[in-house]
Chains A and B, each alone.
Chain A
Amino acid sequence: MSSVAKKAAPMTVAQRLLDTPLARRSDGLRSFAVAAWLGWQIESNWADPFLFAVYSIARPIASALILVVMYSVITNGAFQEPIFPYIYLGNALYILVGSIIVGVSWAIIDDREHYRVAKHLYTAPINGYSYLFGRGLARLIIGAISVIITIVFGVIAFKLPITFASVDWGLLAISTALGIASLAGLGILVGAWTMTMARHFWSVGEAVSAGMYLFSGAIFPLDVLPAWLRWIGFLFPATYWLELSRRALLGPAAAGFETFSALSNGALLAILAAFTVVLLTGSWFFYRWALSNAKDKGLLDMESAY
């Protein structure tokens, strides 16, 4: 068996997809599958499995523990208060927000500046939009693993009130699918924006992701913020996804906070779905504009050597 087949083992789905006649004809599907394969090779290509484990398991748990210790010091160990699972889950789920936004947008910088293959990619018949989704997929998978591990750790170590039977799996699945799609759209917006920049593009994805950590209700309810600042959170899809995920995982325990208490699950899902449609559609148009703008400015294959 060739090394290609061996190394692609975790992404055999992408490989099989590529071998279908449809993928050979469809630029979008083919670009997505190749990019997903490539993304996995890059993200999982750790020389040492120990380092991979540190990155995807120990790092999120350590990050959660820092928050837990801070919480414990401030509240004198009030782990039974409803705010604790609120904070813990928000922090754990937010890993996925960063993974998706940074994963998608970083691919542009990675290809252009690090691997210097942008000119080869953009002279090939790829669909750049679906290529970026594919590149983000690996980070999404690794991020999802980290989220699951962190939540399981919280259930075991801090007795988070989550049981298999009490979880609203349907709500969780729908809200997560919408959340991922809307965040991927946001990632494309950020990535397309970096495509038109000649400099200062390195940290755009992380800046957006980190900035929104404060306003999305990840680690405190939005009510804590002044009314005029809350609106920033209301304009961010992750805010609704986090709220829905908490409701799906914690059930009634999540309803103890006022921000969205007036809104039913259905209403929140409708808002998130609207965000998803707007962001996916908007990102598609914005990507096309950014591509044309980058070609106009001569930035598409630029290597800034920053």
Chain B
Amino acid sequence: MTTQAAIQTRELGRVYKLRGTKRKEDPKELVALQGVDLTVEAGEMFGLLGPNGAGKTTLIKILTTLLLPTKGSATVLGRDVVSDAQEIRRSIAMVSGGETSGYGLLTVEENLWMFARLYGLESKVAKQRIGELMDVVGIADRKNSKISDLSTGLRQKMNFIRGFISDPDVVFLDEPTLGLDVSAARQVRAFVKDWMAKHPDRTLLLTTHYMAEADELCDRLAIIDKGKLLALDTPEGLKHRLQQDAIYKLRVAPLGHRPANGDGLIESVPGVRQVTVNEVEGASELTLILAGDDALGGVLGHLQGRGSGLLSLEKREPTLEDVFIDLVGRGLDVDTSHGDNGNGNK
């Protein structure tokens, strides 16, 4: 017996045409997705990890039938996102983080009730579910508050509930904890885990650029950058890729300007596979992926030669961030949506 994939994409691509301010200007093309092959099985908590502008939201928009692909195909629960959009919508829901949308003049309960009715829920069932979900995320006391009177965090929580009210088969969570405080984000993650535990046949696709969130929640992860899928495995499997490498975090005196010649770069030191540099409070913080511990001496010598003294050094186990750096050559906090390669190399 073959089981149907919850989500499947084949050579999926999307190109945006961006018009300039002048009418006669030819539109510029922005490749948001290219050649994405992905299969998410039913019952999986699947993560898409990538920086801003990597193509995560574009992929979600295509899968939720908001956007047409320009190349390839995609199915959700075996149905084509282009030709069978209406049927897909009966079984999916989407929640975007940082979202404060909603009919401000309606109360929380009314907003949720309205969306529940759009999915065809009976009024009684809708109200019962709204009550339960509001209890779980801790906004039951605000059910009669108008949306316009809610804080950003509370609005986000309301939108989060909206995504689960219809009891969907596939849920798309696009950066669900974006902008939430630590405690609220923890609450959201706990809810997601609990919901999946109670509904093991459902599927959840999560996009995030928070490594810890992806590590904590997802059964499998895909790393995406500049519209391309770079790797796909379990979090452990991805980290295992770096098992042979040595990973160090160094804090050194500010490195100053990037050397003009290539030989002056840290990457030119033998054994250095990847390096990222962040400037923090009067120091430079380096994440090094080395082919082995032997390479560290060379790096320290290089830094000394550039007059940058060592402030602290830590060897650590590979994290998803290291995997990302290894694959992409930069950290996750870099926006690549405007063509900036974001390379923090020095």
Residues of A within 8 A of B (CB): 2-4, 7, 15, 18-19, 23-25, 27, 30-31, 33-34, 37-38, 41-42, 45, 115-117, 119-126, 292, 295-298, 300-301
Q: Which 6 A-B pairs have the closest CB atoms?
A: A116-B101, A125-B89, A24-B120, A125-B90, A124-B118, A45-B105
Closest Cβ–Cβ distance, residue A74 to chain B (whole Å):
43
A30 touches B109 (CB 8 A): no
Closest Cβ–Cβ distance, residue B81 to chain A (whole Å):
10
When chains A and B are docked, how far (Å) is the Cα of A211 from the Cα of B74?
44
Query: A24, A42, A295: which has the most chain B beta carbons within 10 Å?
Result: A295
When chains A and B are docked, how far (Å) is the Cα of A302 from the Cα of B86?
20
Closest Cβ–Cβ distance, residue B151 to chain A (whole Å):
17
Residues in B whose Cβ lies below 8 Å from that of A25: 120
- B119 CB-CB contact with A under 8 Å: yes
The 22 listed contacts between A and B (C-beta, < 8 Å) are: A2-B127, A4-B110, A7-B110, A30-B117, A30-B120, A34-B118, A42-B103, A42-B105, A115-B101, A115-B104, A116-B100, A116-B101, A117-B102, A119-B64, A119-B96, A119-B101, A120-B162, A121-B118, A122-B65, A125-B89, A295-B66, A300-B67
Interface residues of B in 62-78 (CB under 8 A from A): 64-68
Residues in A whose Cβ lies below 8 Å from that of B101: 115-117, 119-120
Known interface pairs A3-B110, A298-B67; 16 further A-B residue pairs with C-beta atoms within 8 A, sorted by A's residue number: A2-B127, A3-B107, A18-B123, A30-B118, A30-B120, A34-B114, A115-B102, A115-B104, A117-B103, A122-B66, A123-B66, A123-B94, A125-B118, A126-B118, A295-B67, A297-B17
Q: What sequence of 0s and 1s flags, for each residue 43-68 of chain B, a beta carbon within 8 Å of any chain A beta carbon?
A: 00000000000000000010011111
When chains A and B are docked, how far (Å) is the Cα of A120 from the Cα of B107?
17
Residues in B whose Cβ lies below 8 Å from that of A7: 110
Closest Cβ–Cβ distance, residue B185 to chain A (whole Å):
21
Closest Cβ–Cβ distance, residue A8 to chain B (whole Å):
8
Residues in A whose Cβ lies below 8 Å from that of B246: none
Residues in B whose Cβ lies below 8 Å from that of A126: 89, 118
- B16 CB-CB contact with A under 8 Å: yes
Given contacts A117-B103, A119-B66, A122-B65, contact A3 B109 (CB under 8 A): yes
Q: Closest chain A residue to B91 by CB distance?
A: A125
Given contacts A45-B105, A123-B94, A124-B118, contact A301 B127 (CB under 8 A): no
Q: Quick one: which of B100, B113, B115, B123 contacts A124, CB cutoff 8 A?
A: B115
Query: A7, A30, A119: which has the most chain B beta carbons within 10 Å?
Result: A119
Residues in B whose Cβ lies below 8 Å from that of A3: 107, 109-110, 144
Q: What sequence of 0s and 1s flags, for each residue 256-290 of chain B, a beta carbon within 8 Å of any chain A beta carbon?
A: 00000000000000000000000000000000000
Residues in B whose Cβ lies below 8 Å from that of A295: 65-68
Q: Closest chain A residue to B92 by CB distance?
A: A123
Closest Cβ–Cβ distance, residue B280 to chain A (whole Å):
33
Q: What sequence of 0s and 1s flags, for each residue 228-249 of chain B, a beta carbon within 8 Å of any chain A beta carbon?
A: 0000000000000000000000
Residues in B whose Cβ lies below 8 Å from that of A4: 107, 109-110, 113, 127
Q: Closest chain B residue to A25 by CB distance?
A: B120
When chains A and B are docked, how far (Å) is the Cα of A78 from the Cα of B89?
62
- B106 CB-CB contact with A under 8 Å: yes
Query: A30, A34, A116: which has the most chain B beta carbons within 10 Å?
Result: A34
Query: A30, A124, A300: which has the most chain B beta carbons within 10 Å?
Result: A124
Closest Cβ–Cβ distance, residue A227 to chain B (whole Å):
35
Q: Closest chain A residue to B120 by CB distance?
A: A24
When chains A and B are docked, how far (Å) is the Cα of A124 from the Cα of B118?
7
Given contacts A30-B120, A295-B66, A298-B16, contact A123 B103 (CB under 8 A): no
